[in-house]
Amino acid sequence: MIDEFPRVRFAPSPTGYLHVGGLRTALYNYLFAKHNNGKFILRIEDTDRNRFVEGAVENLISSLKWCGLEYDEGPDIGGSFGPYMQSMRLELYSKHAQELIENGHAYYCFCTPERLDALREEQQRQKLPQAKYDKHCLHLSKEEINENLESGIAKVIRLNVEPNHKIVFSDIIRGRVEFDSNNVDDQVLIKSDGYPTYHLANVVDDHLMKITHVVRGEEWLSSTPKHVLLYDFFNWEKPEFAHLPLLLNPDRTKLSKRQGDVAVEDYRAKGFLKEGLINFVALLGWNAGDDKEFYYMNELIEKFTLERVNKAGAVFDLDKLNWLNAEHLRKKSDEEILPMLKEEIIRASYDMSKFSDDYLLKIISTMKERVSFVREYLTKSPYFFEAPTEYEQSSIQKNWKEETPEQISKLYDAFTKLNNPTKEDYEIALAKTAEELNIGKGKLIHPLRLSVSGISTGPGVFDLLVTLGKEETLKRIKTAIGKIKI
Ligand code: GLU
């Protein structure tokens, strides 16, 4: 049970795009907040100047918004605990670092990069499990420190980790987690450029922004002991922690760009629906305890709890994403699909003025069960947008015989007599013509389909005719008779 209304945050570093792993973190934070009537906050962790990417924040925000993850406080909308960009909060971090120095929990370090390199090499030579700072500057006298500070030589501020004790915290997903302080480095808190590192800024902000639950990826678990020390050193109450499982490629290696798309914008550009992507990402490490897989956002909000998030890595299965996407598309009403189809038509450079809403709605209902992406209305049934100019060779060979032109002409004549024909009218006219010609219906159906669509697969042929309309149907039959040669 959550007693207070929780406050959670998504705290990305703006590295250029929203990674699907980031989307999963953002989504779980969002769902948790909404489920518990809490607040979801966006905070931009942009204190690493070397990794600054122009336009990255805008890109991130637009991906989050596209997915429907509206936040309650954030850099572009403000809130009571702003600013929400760490680069605009630098003074706060130095003030807190000073406080730690005064209490002996942090210290200035003036070591040169050369000394640090030599130290690292020596530790590697000794095969120590990990490189660690040797606390050299912790032992400088007050005078030495003041002299160094006055001379203006480069300095950083480090966390003073006491050796030989256990750092313990509890994680909602992992239970009790324990680290040996001997394995925790005297982390740099303020860098020589005056900017804070992730660790200091993250803890200071989580405290000042009154974050109650820190929900983030497993890759941050090893940073948590440093954060726990910081909370203790500041005498602050710690938030609850929940570290989400890693995302894996199907071969169980860590999800990487090399094995497919990792940016939300790539999936968007490929035509995935936000509903499909959100549904899929929600299941990467969480289930409601039953077999249900199809979810809308409101159902996810209702069902989501952190307690039901797994520890084990979650495999990113593209087939499942495709399937969920198709399911979500099929559940949309024809009217909902209409504007999406129009967008695709424009993107494909067809002349939109040729297609009435009525016509497009007919296409949608004819093809709905056959498409998994809106784009497939165009790729699977191009003949609705353009009369065929070529005809499938294998179908000609199989279905277009010497006598076909004459037989199809008879069908043409029968169709001309129809007035505003329905599917059944076409069907009856074809059956009658076949009977008069004393041939099986198939002898007309296959050539008819080929004539109007150019290919041999698709929806029921009479549905096709009704969608195209009588005039277009007749035109296409005539063209085919003239064009198809055997
Ligand atoms: N800035 C970190 C990131 O890029 C935030 C990690 C955290 O949530 O503490 O993911």
Ligand 1 atom 10 nearest Cα: 12
Instruction: Write down the pLDDT at residue 259.
Output: 67
Instruction: Write down the pLDDT at residue 253.
Output: 87
Q: Whole-model pTM above 0.85?
A: yes
Ligand 1 atom 5 nearest Cα: 11
Q: Which of 207, 216, 221 to mutate to test the pocket of ligand 1 (most atoms within 8 A of CB)?
A: 216
CB 308 within 8 A of CB 338: no
Atom of ligand 1 nearest to the CA of 10: 8
Q: Is 378 close to ligand 1, i.e. is its CB under 6 Å away?
A: no
Q: Is 104 left (phi over 0), alpha (psi -120 to 50) or beta?
A: left
Q: Is 213 close to ligand 1, i.e. is its CB under 6 Å away?
A: no
Instruction: Write down the pLDDT at residue 3.
Output: 58
In CATH, the number for domain 7-75+247-318 is 3.40.50.620
Q: Where does CATH 3.40.50.620 sit in the chain?
A: 7-75+247-318, 89-244
Instruction: Write down the pLDDT at residue 384.
Output: 97
Atom of ligand 1 nearest to the CA of 206: 9
Instruction: Write down the pLDDT at residue 49.
Output: 79
Distance 22 CA to ligand 1 centre (A): 9
State the architecture of 332-380 in CATH terms.
Orthogonal Bundle (1.10)
SS3 196: strand
Q: Which residues have C-beta within 8 Å of that of residue 415, sequence separation ≥ 6?
A: 421, 426, 429, 470, 473, 474, 477
Q: Is the peptide bond before 83 cis (omega within 30 degrees of 0)?
A: yes
Q: Where does CATH 1.10.10.350 sit in the chain?
A: 393-483
Q: Is 211 close to ligand 1, i.e. is its CB under 6 Å away?
A: no
Q: What's 16-48 look like in SS3?
A: CCCEHHHHHHHHHHHHHHHHCCCEEEECECCCC
Q: Is 202 close to ligand 1, i.e. is its CB under 6 Å away?
A: yes
Instruction: Write down the pLDDT at residue 1.
Output: 46
Of the candidates 318, 312, 286, which has an alpha carbon nearest to the alpha carbon of residue 300? 286
Instruction: Write down the pLDDT at residue 196.
Output: 97
Tens digits of pLDDT across the chain (486 residues): 455 799 999 999 998 889 999 999 999 999 999 999 999 999 999 998 777 788 899 999 999 999 999 999 999 999 999 999 999 999 999 999 999 999 999 999 999 999 999 999 999 999 888 889 999 999 999 999 999 999 999 999 999 999 999 999 999 999 999 999 999 999 999 999 999 999 999 999 999 999 999 999 999 999 999 999 999 999 999 999 999 999 998 888 888 776 678 899 999 999 999 999 999 999 999 999 999 999 999 999 999 999 999 999 999 999 999 999 999 999 999 999 999 999 999 999 999 999 999 999 999 999 999 999 999 999 999 999 999 999 999 999 999 999 999 999 999 999 999 999 999 999 999 999 999 999 999 999 999 999 999 999 999 999 999 999 999 999 999 999 999 987
- Output phi, psi for 465, to 5 deg: -65, -40
Q: Which of 52, 202, 214 to mutate to test the pocket of ligand 1 (most atoms within 8 A of CB)?
A: 202
Distance 11 CA to ligand 1 centre (A): 5
Atom of ligand 1 nearest to the CA of 9: 8
CB 133 within 8 A of CB 186: yes
Give the active site residues: 257
Ligand 1 atom 3 nearest Cα: 12
Pick the CATH number of 89-244 from 3.40.50.300, 1.20.1250.20, 3.30.70.660, 3.40.50.620: 3.40.50.620
Q: Where does CATH 1.10.8 sit in the chain?
A: 332-380
Q: Is 45 close to ligand 1, i.e. is its CB under 6 Å away?
A: yes
Q: Which fold has domain 393-483?
A: Arc Repressor Mutant, subunit A (1.10.10)
Ligand 1 atom 2 nearest Cα: 12
Distance 13 CA to ligand 1 centre (A): 7
